Amino acid sequence: VQLQAFGGGLVQAGGSLRLSCAASGSTLSSYSVGWFRQAPGKEREFVTVISRSGGTTFYANSVQYRFTISRDNDKNMVYLQMNNLKPEDTAVYYCATYREGNILAKRNRESVGRYEYWGQGTQVTVSS
């Protein structure tokens, strides 16, 4: 599976961005898909994940109620709508496919090692 994340950019605090994750080489509906982010000098951290059907989602506390993950399996796409952005949201954002198994266990779904295929990342910069 090849993933490509795009849609990042520069936005003022309080603004919005919509990231997209496009898949090729395989049917994305076979995978739960997550978004992670990595700020300079920090470890890659979990942001959100969506189940294969799109019926189940989980969010990091820091983005809950501001970010929304969705998917369109017909288009082989996953999206991340980010509202009310804050300077601390500045990072490179990555989409990734989850390895086999469900995403119900918090420890698993938030673990970088549980994700198999990764996109190249897209930069999000939020100015204050």
Q: What is the DSSP string of 10-54?
A: EEETT--EEEEEEEESS-GGGS-EEEEEE-TTS--EEEEEE-SSS
Q: Which residues of the chain have pLDDT under 70?
A: none
**pLDDT for the residue numbered 67:** 98
Sign, CA torsion 58/93/13/16: negative
Task: State residue 95's pLDDT score.
Answer: 98
Structure confidence at residue 122 (pLDDT): 98
- With residues binned 3-state (H G I as helix, E B as strand, rest as coil), the percentages for the chain, rounded to 5, are 10, 50, 40
Element (DSSP H or E) covering residue 83? none
pLDDT of residue 92: 98
At residue 49, the pLDDT reads 98
Give the model confidence (pLDDT) of 47-73 as tens digits: 999 999 999 999 999 999 999 999 999
E strand or H helix that includes residue 121: none
Find residue 12's DSSP bridge partners: 127
**pLDDT number for residue 53:** 94
